[in-house]
Amino acid sequence: MKVDILTLFPEMFAPLKESIIKRAVEDQKVEINIINIRDFATPPHYKCDDEPFGGGAGMVMMCEPLFKAIESVMTPDSRIIYMSPRGKVFNQKYAEALSKFSHLILICGHYEGIDQRVIDYFHIEELSIGDYVLTGGELPAMVVADSVIRLLPNVIKDESKTEESFSSELLEYNQYTRPAEYRGMKVPDVLLSGNHKKIAEYRKEESMKITRKNRPDLLK
């Protein structure tokens, strides 16, 4: 998979150079390119935003640099996404669907957002990471990239994916590691029993309890 991220703030993307995503890049499971939209603006001022027609607060990202940046990476196979609080809300199912694509282009807005003609011309899908407003699309693009890349084959173990929260209607059970007792708090005996059937039953029960308490909507 190739992920091209279009942004005015390329330095914000250091988190994608760490841990599991770093390894996925090194192992060539994914190629990530951070593309500076300003490189496609016109010299000498490289202006990328202007006041909104019709008035109102803030600035709007202009067509020209965005058109050129998109056209520099787009192919017939590209899925183009604009990170936007107006979009459909992202979730694990969405991440699974996106992980099947060979090329994602993630556009990060800033200020009041981007000129509508960019969205209309390229038939871009708008995608939100939740019902709140952030200063820019950089964090949302990283959220989407991270959650999609970890689903690519051999990036993490298949087993981790089938047992985790949102892989079914249940949230994940509690996890424990060594030591078996810490400050008087003991790990549940069943997890030390070696009885896999009992462990599976216990975990399922815990998952049910946690889901009922925190996210009863998932059980409906």
Ligand X SMILES: C[S@@+](CC[C@H](N)C(=O)[O-])C[C@H]1O[C@@H](n2cnc3c(N)ncnc32)[C@H](O)[C@@H]1O
Cβ 130 to ligand X, closest distance in Å? 5
Cβ 190 to ligand X, closest distance in Å? 41
Token pair listed for 94: 């969405």
Q: Which residues pair with 108 in a beta bridge?
A: 83
Tell me the C-alpha distance between 37 and 163, whole Å.
39
Which one of 10-18, 94-102, 110-118, 197-205 is the stretch in contact with ligand X (CB under 6 A)? 110-118
- The closest of 126, 137, 98, 102 to 7, measured between CA atoms, is 137
Q: Tell me, residue by residue from 79 to 108, as one string, x for binding to ligand X by CB under 6 A and - for no binding.
A: ----xxxx---------------------x
Which one of 4-12, 123-131, 169-177, 192-200 is the stretch in contact with ligand X (CB under 6 A)? 123-131
Backbone angles phi, psi at 38, to 5 degrees: -65, -25
Cα Rg for the chain, rounded, in angstroms? 22
- The closest of 108, 116, 112, 61 to 82, measured between CA atoms, is 108
Find the binder of ligand X among 132, 157, 158, 177 (CB under 6 A): 132
Task: Judge whether 217 and 169 are in contact, CB under 8 Å.
Answer: no
Please name the residues in contact with 123: beta carbons below 8 A apart, sequence gap of 6 or more. 80
Find the binder of ligand X among 34, 65, 106, 137 (CB under 6 A): 137
Find the binder of ligand X among 8, 21, 62, 129 (CB under 6 A): 129
Q: Does 65 bind ligand X (CB under 6 A)?
A: no
Find the binder of ligand X among 35, 62, 110, 170 (CB under 6 A): 110
Cβ 16 to ligand X, closest distance in Å? 17
Which residues are at the interface with ligand X (CB under 6 A)?
83-86, 108-110, 112-113, 128-130, 132-137, 140
